[in-house]
Amino acid sequence: MKTADDFLEGQVLLIDKPLTWSSFQAVNKLKYLLKRHYNLPKKFKIGHAGTLDPLASGLLIVCTGKFTKKITEIQAQTKEYTGTITVGSTTPSYDLETEIDATFPIEHISEELITATTQQFLGEIDQKPPVFSAIKKDGKRLYEHARAGEEVEIVSRKTTIYEFEITRIALPEIDFRVQCSKGTYIRSLAYDFGKALQSGGHLTALRRTKIGDYDVKNAVTPEIFERQVTAPNS
């Protein structure tokens, strides 16, 4: 049974973020619940260790109180994702946030080609973040430039893919599991993978399953967290 002091001293909360929720929404929900139930001070600290897009579900690590100092350390750990790349088409955002803007042939794509192509992405790679991302350029976020129809030059950055496993092939869908370093954009990986297959690709499902030793299997949804907090004995 947790007390107000426990949350002020610091807790690491594992949340299974639902689809369509923003990471900000999830943290705000927890902040509201904890402050209300435990009568915590206005300046109560809470934050997450790594954003998940609204179109992604899975592990969101939330730190409270003094443990917010651990956020940078947690963010730097290896991450694992599972998801689906749909080949044969691309979108400007590299995922389902925007409409399909181009289509490509997929008849030549075989299981052997897919498996062989994953090898190109193992180890340290150069990756360009999606134009629809929160990275800042000239004082504005990239997605703000994109929505305003402004052309922006995006600089590629180094990232590391430790594992890239194909778990299901049912063209045009390809399911995968990836372990990668901080700063990897799985949307960019989907786009680049489609290109490497001499086709196109975009991300149609994404779930974060691990950050370091933290596993989504041990996480709870915001709804369950609310029930736990507001239960009579909590």
By annotation, the residues acting in catalysis are: 53
Contact 91, 69 (CB under 8 A): no
Distance, CA of 58 to CA of 221 (rounded, Å): 9
* Cβ–Cβ under 8 Å, residues 177 and 168: no
> Cβ contacts of residue 163 below 8 Å, gap of 6+?
122, 177, 178, 179
The answer to whether residues 82 and 177 touch, using CB atoms and an 8 Å cutoff, is yes
What angle do the packed helices 186-196 and 111-118 form, to 10 degrees? 130
Token pair belonging to 141: 């976020």
217: tokens are 């299997």
In whole angstroms, how far apart are CA 178 and each of 28, 116, 167, 184, 203?
A: 29, 15, 10, 10, 13
